[in-house]
Structures are given as C-alpha cells and as structure tokens.
C-alpha cells in the first residue's frame, strides 16, 4: 500500500505492517512507526505533514495520527470495541472520516475531539477497502 503526499514530495508506504515515508525523488526512506503492531490504511493531511492510519496496537484496529517525519510518538485517536478502518482526511484537514465496525461511517477531528456518527447503514464488503473520493 502507498500514497503520494498532496505536495508531491513524499510517499507513505506500508511494508510488512510498518509505515515508511520516502522522498518522491528517491532521496530518503524513513521507518516512522517502528512497532511490533500492524499498521495500514494511511492518508495524508492537506499540508503533507501528518499521517492518519490504522494500527492494531490496542488489540483491535484503531486510528492513530503521526508526524510524517516520525517526530514524536503516534497519538491514538480512537479507542472503541469496534474495528476502525479506511481513514480519510477532509480536503480542508478539519476532519477525518472512517468506518467503525460493520455499519458506521464516522468523523473525528485530527486532535481526537468531535467524534460523531454520520451514517449508519450496511456498507457491505466495500468498507474494507477504505473510503474513496472526497469528503467535503
């Protein structure tokens, strides 16, 4: 899995459950998670400075946010009994949309506040691929 940053200068790549940030020009590669847990589903904020992702560090998948250069520890955004998946920043960077469990589409602010339910429905198997498109 990989995702190009909005500024086009960096690539976030998930390799064997670790998140790496690479220079798009090939200048550097940095493991920014270095954990025994599995990380996946990365997305960039609009400034290309932070990454939101899913980790199973808490025994079930939750959302975490981390500085793209690995400065400082990751911060856990969710802690629920349901699995979180498919985080996606809004274009203005004010919200992160994500799936929780089998039937909920939720949003949360990047600082972990304002978590709320948007839609409750049957999303089928498509939810495992994460959100697609834009969130305005």
Tell me the pLDDT tens digit for each residue of 69-102.
888 999 999 999 889 999 999 999 999 999 998 8
Give the C-alpha separation, 117 to 128, whole Å: 18
Give the C-alpha separation, 36 to 51, whole Å: 18
pLDDT at 124: 67
pLDDT at 130: 55
Q: Is the pLDDT of residue 127 over 90?
A: no
- For residue 23, the tally of other CB atoms under 10 A from its CB is 12
Q: How many CA atoms lie within 13 A of 95 on its CB side?
A: 15
Q: Is the pLDDT of residue 59 over 70?
A: yes
Confidence (pTM): 0.89
Q: Is the pLDDT of residue 35 over 80?
A: yes
Predicted confidence band of residue 107 (pLDDT cuts 50, 70, 90): very high
Predicted confidence band of residue 122 (pLDDT cuts 50, 70, 90): confident
């Amino acid at each position: 899995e990989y995702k190009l940053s909005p500024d086009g200068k960096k690539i976030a790549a998930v390799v064997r459950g670790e998140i790496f940030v690479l220079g798009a020009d090939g200048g550097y590669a940095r493991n920014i998670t270095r954990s025994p847990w599995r990380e996946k589903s990365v997305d960039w904020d609009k400034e290309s400075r932070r990454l939101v992702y899913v980790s199973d560090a808490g025994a079930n998948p939750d959302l975490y946010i981390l500085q793209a250069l690995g400065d400082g520890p990751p911060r856990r955004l969710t802690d629920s009994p349901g699995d979180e998946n498919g985080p996606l920043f809004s274009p203005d960077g004010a919200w992160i949309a994500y799936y929780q469990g089998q039937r909920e589409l939720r949003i949360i602010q990047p600082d972990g506040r304002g978590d709320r339910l948007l839609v409750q429905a049957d999303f089928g198997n498509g939810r495992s691929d994460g959100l697609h498109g834009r969130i305005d």
